[in-house]
Structure 1
């Protein structure tokens, strides 16, 4: 067992949970690449994994650890931990100061992401940690083995905060809502988008329990379907940044505790995303570490990225917020914020949240409930929807 985000909750390292979560995953062939142009429209595959809709194509798991045991002292785990401690991390990673907006913008456009130090004040970070621990407690209570999995690829010992929320987002938690408009990140977002007229649409992030021994497959967060160009000359990769995700690690990211990996420059690449079996080793080591807790990782959603093994004894949590460019919209934009939450936001946060806020007095279906199993989330959603009047239920469904 290991500690939660604030060092108080024992979770993880359950050797009873097999690698990749499904005994039969290795019988399901991976696609030729991890590209997913269908995005949110991706159907549930032959293996019904617990994952976010845009990542339902990632069903192959990690072939390298298929015969390992999920134990801290498993010889294969120990060998990987030693190798990561020695070699993991992007060489020369530049972490910028929040006030250096011009440099942050230049790095973002060059690499597809930028790491920003001291994005959160001490009080904000502590508040976020408390919220994270409460959500983790709910997930662990429903899945004490850590076997259900979630996020990109449905791997065990990993969860998506937004993906496990019945409302599909975490806007109802003040710990997350505080992240929408920060004096440290808003100027950088405004500079990257070259406008203050971007909008917020998503609120979630992810966590990796200790003992998450698998790599996730590289992927883009494709919260859209590929654009239709009759002449076949234009893709989403050819456009300016459509979506930005900002993640805030709640503990220091180290080589061994599951730092996010990002492949620089791939936000504008039309190359096929390689599978875990085909990617070169340097891609597995292209992680954003070391990085202090309370920093921000601002990334183009198209940039190839994934989770990495958490071989430590601590939970690695990275809550986050997602934004759409002023010119971009998709089916990912749903009403998922209560009017009460919206009324407490800053004027800028209120303005950029205008497409996701519900009417005054209108309930947000599923608000405040996180559960790792999709079937249970759908049951709760249907139950709460049925409790509304027929007119209110119809109106709600039309707007979400």
Structure 2
């Protein structure tokens, strides 16, 4: 797997299949994550695997959007033609290589500690004609502005693009290093979109098969999709276990629970299992 910066421009280590990162590659990956708040890992999946996920996703989205009484799983997000969908923990979305990819698990254990938990499983789609979202972060500093200095990472989102992410189809824009910004009390009412104009950003342009791990505090936004196809990614959120929060929608079907190995069950231990 190729480990790169958010701009996906730096050469990285190469490892394929189920192999874990060796000590040097893991160290470089963690350094990039600490410095920029995000790291991209190429070749995590082959094209056929992503094609299977995309076909299943498109079918599920079509079903949810055509539900007679509407869908509670599909909701609009900030910006025109942007939606999110809560994902069911069913195959192929609940497959071990999706929810507990070995290299992702390796990095998460180093960043969050070995006792981390999944707390949310979502997805984001930008349809043709989508607009810029407001710059935002998925979680603020744990202690707000009270501490005055950044803490270690407490939450990470895994993004699995289900298509190539390009300038044309609205690849995510990120502000590297912004995860280390602790708001001053004087900035409490300032919009991040206004503050971000003074900072350098990068576009999350990566091919099918690549994945990204992002600190939840990192400033980012969706951008206009000027292509003729939907730009979609899965978004799985993991956090330190002591935070204790989880989405009420995160529930594990009993059949899925029984199929998972014990290390995956541990990651989802906070979610109820449904008969």
TM-score by length of 1: 0.56
Q: Following the alignment from structure 2 to structure 1, what is the Cα–Cα distance between the partners of residues 227 and 105? A: 33
User: Would you tell me which structure has more strand in proportion to its own residues?
Assistant: 2
2:216 maps to what in 1? 301
Is the contact between residue 243 and residue 324 of structure 1 (CA under 8 Å) also seen in structure 2? Answer: yes
How far residue 353 of structure 1 moved from its aligned partner, in angstroms, is 0.6
Candidates 266, 269, 272, aligned match of 1:354: 269
Distance of 1:91 and 1:123 partners within structure 2 = 22
Q: Is 1:234 aligned to residue 108 of structure 2?
A: no
Measure how far apart 1:139 and its partner are.
4.8
Q: Deviations over 1:248-284 (max 9, x none)?
A: 111111111111111001111024564445642875x
Q: Contact 1:160/1:206 (CA < 8 Å) preserved in 2?
A: yes
CA distance 1:281–1:255, shift in 2 (3 Å): farther
Mapped pair 1:203 → 2:121: yes
Q: Residue 137 of structure 2 corresponds to which residue in structure 1?
A: 220
Deviation of 1:227 (Å): 3.8
- Aligned residue pair count: 250
Q: Which residue of 2 aligns with 1:322?
A: 237
Structure 2 match to 1:73: none
Give the structure 1 partner of residue 51 of structure 2. 126
Unaligned runs of 5+ residues in structure 2 are 1-5, 16-20, 69-73
Match of 1:244 among 156, 161, 166: 156
- Structure 2: distance between partners of 1:269 and 1:309: 26
Tell which structure's C-alpha radius of gyration is larger. 1
Provide the residue aligned with 1:259 in structure 2: 171
TM-score (structure 2 length as normaliser): 0.79
CA contact 1:119–1:185 (8 Å) conserved in 2: no
- What value does the CA root-mean-square deviation take over the aligned residues? 2.9
* Distance 1:171-1:345 versus aligned 2 partners, 3 A rule: farther
Tell me how far 1:124 sits from its aligned partner: 2.8
- Report the counterpart of residue 30 of structure 2 in structure 1: 105
Distance 1:350 1:181 in 2: 10
Alpha-carbon displacement from aligned partner over 1:162-209 (angstroms, at most 9, x marks no partner):
2xxxxxxx243322212111123111212222x321111111120111
